[in-house]
Chains A and B, each alone.
Chain A
């Protein structure tokens, strides 16, 4: 039985994992994609679909955690222009 608290916890874990990417573009994409993914399935009532979506989310969390390690091994050498504060 997947309840609301678990879904919120999964969302938070995904957002936190995505925050670790050194690359600005991928970091923003991860945040955007998790929020869009959770919002899209926000109104599901059929329980088997909810379980399916939750399992998919868990799988993506594993992917993100693994890929972050690879990206951290080769961080970008310069800051992306979007990360610089306006002077």
Chain B
């Protein structure tokens, strides 16, 4: 799988040469080229997930951005309460376009758990 990805990265055709498939033109400059016939197997990278989760937590008004690390605990380290935790988890859901069931969402009480959940979820984007 990793070999295939590495190989495909070298064989990538610039999108400008392909016929337009109705793909989102504005994203092309940022992502390089989008492979036309590949299945959805390029999952988010761990670093990408970490960065985005931390951004979500840092942009929360009650949080001091300087304290936010990938291991920080919402209630113990950041001084948030359970309602703030609910709000943060909802913001993470929106960022990664996920639906986290209540049972799982109740368990997420720190950045590390959030990162782990998002990274392991097949539908994150």
Contacts and interface: CB of A to CB of B under 8 A. Distances in A.
A16 B98 CA distance: 12
A38 interface: yes
A54 B65 CA distance: 33
A8 B106 contact: yes
Interface in A1-43: 4-5, 8-9, 11-12, 15-16, 19, 35, 38-39, 42
Contact of A38 (B83, B90, B94): B83
Interface in B78-100: 81-83, 86-87, 90, 94
Contact of A39 (B83, B94, B106): B83
B-side interface mostly: helix
User: Which of B87, B105, B106 has the largest number of chain A CB atoms within 10 A?
Assistant: B87
Given A12-B90, A15-B90, A35 B102 contact: no
B83 A35 contact: yes
Contact of A9 (B87, B90, B102): B102
Contact of B86 (A11, A19, A42): A11
A42 B83 contact: yes
Contacts of A42: 81, 83
A12 B86 contact: yes
B24 to A, nearest CB: 13
Interface of A: 4-5, 8-9, 11-12, 15-16, 19, 35, 38-39, 42
Interface of B: 81-83, 86-87, 90, 94, 102, 105-106
Given A11-B83, A35-B87, 19 more contacts: A4-B82, A5-B106, A8-B82, A8-B83, A8-B86, A8-B106, A9-B102, A12-B86, A12-B90, A12-B105, A15-B86, A15-B87, A16-B90, A19-B90, A19-B94, A35-B83, A38-B83, A39-B83, A42-B81
